[in-house]
Chains A and B, each alone.
Chain A
């Protein structure tokens, strides 16, 4: 039986799970507000129980995500300050962009074009680092603007009112960016690309096989072997229940994400032609509206009865 190695700790997997849950929740309860002209948005907002309920869950998921973010910051601080892991901020184990990321990026593009071999990656590739920092940046922007909008009475004592205009634009645009990025680029880079299709279970099981490890991240494998740290990561193959559970959760999350993305793209494309929303019911005749646009069959049956 092949050897397996830990790539993500239980805590990291849990953080990702929390991120998935809260992010999908936030997109699902927030996007209907932004794409309010779309039928699906109206349907969803009413199905969820109205904008009050939607707002309640949006704020609940926001707190969840904030806690997740704080837990992550805590973990980083703990590793850096207490466990003195200097490698958190620099080096092969760090998520901080480094010169070799540029080199790997360039080699990777050449590999796409069949102009060179596939680069040897380390623990984190450049696109994984971008994913990480994009979420980090997004948390800051969306989180801050979100809390400013939530506690508008408090912030209106500190900041001029037009800050809410700015916050709403930031919140909405950054949400669109995050949503678009996660549901397309991240899904592809991590799950849907040819080498991983349909899904990379590592973020759920935390384990990679030795073969996968050596192939995917030869630099890290070699380094750990050289430093004798490989055996510390050794583990069993993920049990079947864990793999199946991961597949179910992953499929649901990816499907919801892609569905939301398709709906939003559809709204974006149709929105352009009707920026003011639905055509108004006022007709050109000043005596009244165009009755053809009336909702049908309301009181019409009286006509026959009275005639």
Chain B
């Protein structure tokens, strides 16, 4: 059979170098039984027992199925391998009840080395049996090529595979994972929806940001999702946005390693990234800006724009409408949309009749700030005083009026009591 395939390959050698490579690979594979000294066992022999449904064994208190679906196995990427390549401690049947764990590393050296350094691998080393192993993500006897639509790590399948663990808040709590249900958040995000509803292969899935075998904890500086790496990770797909971001005040701050400078996930979040044309995003991002720019949000809420968005309507100006989003620049920068030389044009985007006078409106006026706008300050002071004065005066007036019958009766008792005392004394 070996020579037959080789013969075939000679025919198509000129066409495809990859075929040669695969032939060489298969040659090695078929010589493996010789290497491992288990020539005598063919897969048919193994399957004569293991194709029986319902075979079970117990290991570390967990029931594990011993049944192999011959159909699935024959379609798997390892279909041509003898069982004993992976289950290398079997040389004859019947074999021992307890077998050594399968060592994927013997073929997949690089992947295994990466896995060892990953958060999953190091957890396994530390004895955490919940941490994902090769088979948890790739399957066992039914492993498909990653590009095969039925593979557990095919882009459209991957979130369900990761979600098997990362959709379980109890598990997250047990292992101190900061995001309790990353799966749920992701599936509701623009990436998750693009993947699930539209079947977009280019939509970011778990591995796009976290990597696959070498997933590192977010706090690790080498992690792709470490704060310092986030712009670069997102920029792998969002290259244009990254370029704009790098020129913005936030991007410059990030480059200068200012701790308060936001990165992509601070505004967009990590897992529940929303479509930016949804109202819920448009309203939420205003509050998001306010987590750092608290004073600006407070004064914005005092303005008509801020009041309308607070009620849940999005037709009026939000932070990004005046300041920009990825390209936000300080007011002093001549390229800034709120710079004195561009502010009228910015207002005109919604108010076509706006002029220089119009732009003197202060969208972030603070009635408590005397220096910023003294007229506003004194107006607010006067009105507060007027309100206070009127309500105190008429509040008392009303209270006395309402209490008059009570006052009258108390007074009556008081005066009659005194008169009574006087009579007694007299």
Contact = CB atoms under 8 A, between A and B. Distances in A.
Contact of A303 (B183, B265, B269): B183
Given A278-B287, A287-B265, A298-B184, A185 B308 contact: no
* From A113, A134, A161, residue with most partner B Cβ within 10 Å: A161
A45 B394 CA distance: 32
A149 B391 CA distance: 27
A36 B286 CA distance: 14
A263 to B, nearest CB: 14
Given A160-B360, A169-B383, A291-B181, A298 B266 contact: no
A41 B311 CA distance: 7
Interface in A162-176: 162, 164-166, 168-170, 173-174, 176
B307 A34 contact: yes
* From B168, B302, B394, residue with most partner A Cβ within 10 Å: B394
A82 B362 CA distance: 48
Contacts of A51: 308, 311, 313, 315
Give the interface residue-count category, chain B: 35 or more
Nearest to A302: B187
* From A153, A169, A184, A289, residue with most partner B Cβ within 10 Å: A169
Given A111-B404, A165-B365, A160 B357 contact: yes
Given A288-B182, A288-B269, A298 B358 contact: no
B358 A37 contact: no
Give the interface residue-count category, chain A: 35 or more
A294 B272 CA distance: 10
Given A276-B301, A281-B287, A288 B179 contact: yes
Interface string A271-289: 0000111101110011111
Nearest to A297: B184
Given A162-B373, A282-B291, A188 B365 contact: no
B359 interface: yes
Contacts of A112: 400-401, 403-404, 407
A307 B301 CA distance: 44
Nearest to A180: B391
A159 interface: yes
A220 B117 CA distance: 98
Main SS class of interface, A? helix
Contact of A109 (B288, B362, B400, B402): B400
Interface of B: 159-161, 163-164, 167-169, 178-185, 187-188, 192, 218, 225, 227, 265-266, 269-272, 284, 287-288, 290-291, 294, 297-298, 301-304, 306-308, 310-313, 315, 351, 353-355, 357-362, 365, 367, 373, 375-376, 379-380, 383-384, 386-387, 390-391, 394-395, 397-398, 400-405, 407-408, 411-412
Given A166-B375, A176-B387, 12 more contacts: A33-B311, A36-B301, A112-B404, A112-B407, A177-B383, A180-B391, A194-B402, A289-B272, A291-B181, A303-B168, A306-B163, A307-B168
Which 5 pairs from chain A and chain B are nearest by CB? A161-B360, A306-B160, A161-B361, A173-B383, A36-B310
